[in-house]
Structure 1
Amino acid sequence: MWLLVPVLVCLGLVANGIRLRGRLRRLDTVVASGRPVDPAHLFLVAEGVRLPEAARRAASNHARRERLLVLDLVPADLTVERALDVARMVDTRTYRADRSAPGRGAFQAILVHRDLLERAGITHLDGFSPVELVDIATQLKRYAPTATDLAVVPGLRAARDDAAMRVRVQQRAYACTPASLYMPFTPHIATAIGSQVSQQLAYVATALFWFQPFFVCAGRVPLAPRDLIRSPIVRILGIFLLVVHSVRAGREARAAGIPADPHKAARRQRRDETAAWYRARARHVGRLREVTSSECPWCGSRELRSRLRSPDLAMGKPGSFQLDTCGRCGHTFLNPAITPDGQDYYERDWRDGFAAEAAEHARAREAAADRARAELLRPYATPRAWLDVGTGFGHFCNVARHHWPATAFGGLDITDSVDEARARGWVDAAYQGELVQVADRLAGRYDVISMFGYLERARYPSEELDGAVKALAPGGHLLIELPNPSCPAARRLGRYWPGWDVPRRLHFIPVDNLLAALEDRGLRPIVVELGAAQRPGDLTGALGLLIQQLAPKSEPWLDTHRAGPGRRLLRVPLLLASIAPLVLAAVVDSLSRAWLARGSRSNTYRVLARKEG
């Protein structure tokens, strides 16, 4: 069986080489143009990059012809490893059309339309580092999700490259997926293991790795890496070059009186400011809860029983919380509930603030679920105006625009993230607050209202349903998605079921309760979707929460009782030991999805209801 390891490494290197070569071959190459640069086209250029006038004209003509607002300019003379990074980061088949894809490219120079640049708030045009262009490319793709692309520009000359800068670019680009940083080391580790079984196959795998750049970049590929001939030597000396270049970069930074990595320095400062905010409120955490209720907030029954107790497993903020279930109607709720200040405390840095980047990345990965949500309406109505309640940065509206291009989308959220959604153009109208607060003002304006991840976090879900009825036009549709507290995963995984998300989720409404509440308000349910609404990864998520509880990631808001040095030391060996269980959990999650999608076993359900009248 161990003989399979070096065989799989060889096959993996060949398959990956074919994948990367295909991506590079699909890169467009701009053609020379005598037309002057469009006055609306501006160029953001990294330090050390040479962008002659002829290359600017060609890029501008290409952007004008392809109707692009953003064009990442790829130098043909990138180093081999930078060229491979472009292929790894960008699926050139789907990049432009994929509204949720992160902005990526060569990070050397970017053409941007003037209006978009002003909307994004970018004021200067040159002197950028490649690391800064990572953030800019990410932002610009969000502001022009279907008008962003990349192309090879003849005549464009890349900046001098070194291993240290390349690692910093990778760290920034993969900040939300750190495992991607270590994937290139997988063949080395597997080859070392396989060499104990077959040295001949290990030699073949090593040679394939060293000479992979020739297969990927040579021949009919629009790039001509300047170090292709010596790429095997560069790969052999990779670690040594990284150390040398890092030391040199550190010396140059100290001589100039600036941080060696400005991004890390800025993040460290934000981290310190965030930690100071939490320390100032550490003594008052106990005041963030209301009095324990003896009645069910849904039906008023006093037949309550404790379902589970749990700390804040996901974020690690202080406190222990209890979920009670009503014996009459089955409604599960946080008891005692947290106060409005408590909601602000426990939701702070969850979707915004220090964790905004990670939260946006996680939300963008729900694009498949967003597509299913948008398509659920198709057999029943063509929306004229759609209000997404609890929209955050507007990710659902961004995806739904592909399915409903003629629909006007509005976004409502209690945070100011909805203003950013409006600036990006993901929503056409932005409202801040709770639905019940703006329902009268929006009455009859929207013929579709959606609530994804909203009703379970509302303090008074019944009032929010009343607000939806007021805001919805006659004959309009209300689409709601909620976690299913009756699913097998919720029962078997206990407090480690990711769907609980204590204490940010306050109410867990059984599907029958929601249907009855909608009918009482004159809304006729026309679709109840369980199986298709299943969210993947319950077992994998539960294992992740267990790891987070035993050895939490160091965060500025972490409960001091869970932030000891022992747990910090335990985290790395625990993560290494959990690789095999996590892989096994992912396999089980994948194999069990078909079973969970049958009947009422899914961890999530959706209801589409029509307002009569």
Structure 2
Amino acid sequence: MTSTAENSVDDRAWYAAQLAGGTARFFGPRRHDCPWCGSTRLTVEVRSKELYQRKPGRFTLEKCKTCNFVFQNPRLTGEGLNFYYRDFYDGRGAAQADEMSSYGAPANHARAQLVQRHAGPDGPRSWLDVGTGWGYFAKHAAEILPHTVFDGLDQGSGVDRALERGWLAHAYRENAFPELADELRGRYDVISMHHYLEHTLDPRAELAAAARALEPGGLLEIEMPDAECVLRHVFRSWWVPYFQPQHLNFPPVGNLLQALVEHGFRPLEVQQAEAHQPVEVLMALVFAMTKIGPDPDHPWRATEASDLQRKVNQVAWTKVFPKLINPALKVDILVNKALISRLSHGNAYRIVAVREGGK
């Protein structure tokens, strides 16, 4: 068995080799046109660092002035995505990702209830959650829909853990969703994509795959960040829905509704302010802590952490952060009550659509 120390040495050597030539090689060429509508009227929306794990790199989101689509430009290549995803949901970051996913019960209940309104009181027979992560959606949704069988698809190890925990009846891990769509045809009454499309290279290809997998009458539920939310102006690069570099695409709700129609879906209900999740202040606090007290054992650090840096990390996360969590949550709730509930846009939108007849 390889020891933890040996793993640490191996990880540090891997990251050092990856970063030896800098991060520029992780990006493709910058686009001069909008990948959604083809317009060349682009403007910089925000520039950001990786704020959670503090891996090196700088990222730019640009906005199309014609259709308001926001996208990462230049975009990470497959190699770049592998670098930044490594040790985030798996490996070193697995336990933390699992814990953070466990806090999503209120949003997961709301997602299940939205579909229930359109599928009937007993809910659908079968549901595939694409991008299921650690499977907490299935766990929480089963509390609303006890007669529904949930399956999950994801490329991380969390989907296997959800299967072991009994939250999923079946787990798909080896293939991307578009590769499986034809094989899945007619197997599910509902397919969901909760905070999944913004991670994908081609959102339209994912919608086309959903259209192939669902029979007419099947339901598709989508939830993703709403880059028209006013709070983006307040938090800028620290606005958590931007979450660079993992979030690649931010189609406005109107763009996505049009794309759904083009792919054979009829939207049934749209939630905007109702889909808001009050986390901006809390996550800004987390980002501040990762800056003040970054993990001294992260293997992508350029140098070994000093004793002082280790002490600062310990104090920041064990003494300071716990005292600030509740005040941050209270401010988030106040902002939600005072602002978001009175506006049309929250930090996310949620759509349920039905697959219409045809091919």
The answer to whether the superposition gives a TM-score over 0.5 is: yes
Find the partner of 1:377 among 108, 111, 115. Answer: 115
Q: Which amino acid aligns with 1:292?
A: R
1:552-611, CA deviations, whole angstroms, 9 ceiling, x for partnerless residues? 222424442896776555445666567776554333212222131333231111111111
Cα distance change on mapping 1:390 and 1:579 into 2, 3 Å: closer
Letter matched to residue 277 of structure 1: W
CA contact (8 A) 2:296 2:313 kept: no
- Distance, in Å, in 2 between the alignment partners of 1:571 and 1:594 is 34
1:351 aligned residue: 89
- With over 3 angstroms needed to count, the CA separation of the structure-2 counterparts of 1:430 and 1:574, relative to structure 1, is closer
- Residue equivalent to 2:256: 514
SS of alignment partner, residue 374 of structure 1? helix
Partner of 2:332 in structure 1? Answer: 589
Which structure is higher in RCO with an 8 Å CA cutoff and minimum separation 6?
Answer: 2
**Pair 1:276 & 2:23 matched:** no
Tell which deviates more after alignment, 286-295 or 400-409. Answer: 400-409
Instruction: Tell me the residue number matched to 2:162.
Output: 421
2:199 to 424, 438, 457: 457
2:71 to 313, 333, 336: 333
Give the conservation status (yes or no) of the 8 Å contact 1:518–1:524.
yes
Count of equivalent residues:
349
Taking the aligned partners of 2:44 and 2:307, their CA distance within structure 1 comes to 34
1:402 aligns with 2:143: yes
Shift of 1:306: 0.6
Q: State the distance in 1 between where 2:10 and 2:139 align.
A: 32
1:337-356 deviations in Å (ceiling 9; x for gaps): 11112111111111111111
Check conservation: 1:315, 1:558, Cα contact below 8 A: no
Letter in 2 for 1:283: A
Conservation of the 8 A alpha-carbon contact between 2:229 and 2:345? yes
Measure the CA separation in 2 of the matches of 1:300 and 1:545. Answer: 34
Question: Aligned-pair RMSD on alpha carbons?
Answer: 2.4
Counterpart CA distance in 2 for 1:456 and 1:319 is: 19
* Bigger share in helix: 1
Q: 2-side partners of 1:296 and 1:564: how far apart? A: 45
Can you list the C-alpha shifts for 1:120-160, whole angstroms capped at 9, x where unaligned? xxxxxxxxxxxxxxxxxxxxxxxxxxxxxxxxxxxxxxxxx
- Aligned to 2:351, the other structure's residue is in SS state strand
- 1:493 pairs, out of 214, 235, 246, with 235
Alpha-carbon contact 1:383-1:448 (below 8 Å) kept: yes
**Residue aligning to 1:529:** 271
State the AA in 2 paired with 1:405. Answer: P
Q: Is the 8 A contact 1:485 1:510 kept in 2?
A: yes
The structure-2 alpha-carbon separation of the partners of 1:497 and 1:268, relative to structure 1 and needing over 3 Å to count, comes to farther
C-alpha spacing 1:565/1:502, structure 2 compared with 1 (3 Å)? farther
Residues 77-105 of structure 1 show CA distances to partners (whole Å, capped at 9, x for unaligned) of xxxxxxxxxxxxxxxxxxxxxxxxxxxxx
Cα distance in 2 for partners of 1:373, 1:328 equals 31
| Pairing partner for 1:305 from 20, 43, 46 | 43
- 1:273–1:426 CA distance, 2 compared to 1 (3 A): farther
Equivalent residues of 1:385, 1:448 under 8 A apart: yes
Q: Which amino acid aligns with 2:56?
A: P
- The aligned amino acid for 2:82 is D
**Which runs of structure 2 are paired with 1:43-192 in the superposition (5 Å)?**
none
User: Counterparts of 1:12-31 in structure 2 under 5 Å?
Assistant: none
Q: Is the contact between residue 301 and residue 326 of structure 1 (CA under 8 Å) also seen in structure 2?
A: yes
- Which structure 2 segments of 5+ residues have no match? none
Partner of 2:209: 467
> Take 1:328 and 1:568, find their aligned partners in 2: how far apart are those partners?
48
Instruction: State the shift of 1:371 in Å.
Output: 1.4
Distance 1:410 1:272 in 2: 37
The equivalent of 1:608 in structure 2 is 352
Amino acid at match of 2:109: R
Query: 2:95 is matched by which residue type in structure 1?
Result: E
- Within a 5 Å distance, the mapping from 1:258-269 to structure 2 comes to 267-269=4-6
Partner of 1:147: none
Distance of 1:326 and 1:564 partners within structure 2: 44
Unaligned runs of 5+ in 1: 1-264
| Equivalent position amino acid for 1:307 in 2 | E
In structure 2, relative to structure 1, the CA distance for the partners of 1:572 and 1:495 (3 Å cut) is same
Partners of 1:340 and 1:277 in 2: CA distance: 17
Instruction: Report the CA distance between 1:533 and its aligned residue.
Output: 1.4
Secondary structure of the equivalent of 1:376? helix
SS in 2 for 1:307: strand
Q: Distance in 2 between matches of 1:486 and 1:555?
A: 37
CA 1:331–1:356: 2 relative to 1, 3 Å: same
* Code of the aligned partner of 1:336: P
Report the residue type matching 1:320 in the other structure: R
Native 8 Å contact 2:267 2:354 kept in 1? yes
By how many angstroms is 1:471 displaced?
0.7
Q: Tell me the secondary structure at the aligned position of residue 276 of structure 1.
A: helix
| Aligned partner of residue 129 in structure 2, secondary structure | strand
Is the Cα–Cα contact under 8 Å of residues 313 and 545 in structure 1 kept in the other structure?
A: yes
Cα 1:512–1:563 shift into 2, 3 Å: farther
Partner of 2:27: 289
Q: Secondary structure at the match of 2:80?
A: helix
Match of 1:548 among 290, 300, 305: 290
Counterparts of 1:341 and 1:326, CA distance in 2: 26
Give the % identical residues.
Answer: 37
Secondary structure of 1:597's aligned partner: helix
Query: Would the alpha carbon gap of residues 500 and 559 (structure 1) be closer, same or farther in structure 2, given more than 3 Å must change?
Result: farther
Residue deviations 1:406-426 (CA, integer Å, cap 9, x gap): 222221112344333333322
How has the CA–CA distance of structure 1 residues 557 and 338 changed in structure 2, closer, same or farther, with 3 Å as cutoff? farther
Say which SS state the counterpart of residue 410 (structure 1) adopts: strand
Letter of the 1:603 partner, please give it: N
Change beyond 3 A, Cα 1:445–1:436: same
Q: Do the aligned partners of residues 434 and 597 (structure 1) sit closer, same or farther apart at CA in structure 2, a change above 3 Å counting? A: farther
SS at match of 1:406: coil
The alignment partner of 2:43 has SS state of strand
Task: Please give the alpha-carbon distance, in whole angstroms, between the structure 1 residues aligned to 2:250 and 2:301.
Answer: 26
Secondary structure of the 2:37 match is: coil
Question: CA 1:570 to 1:419, structure 2 compared with 1: closer, same or farther past 3 Å?
Answer: closer
Secondary structure in 1 aligned to 2:168? coil
Could you tell me whether the CA contact under 8 Å between 2:253 and 2:349 is conserved in 1?
A: yes
**Number of the residue aligned with 1:27:** none
1:563 & 1:301 partners in 2: Cα distance?
47
- The letter for the 1-side match of 2:106 is A
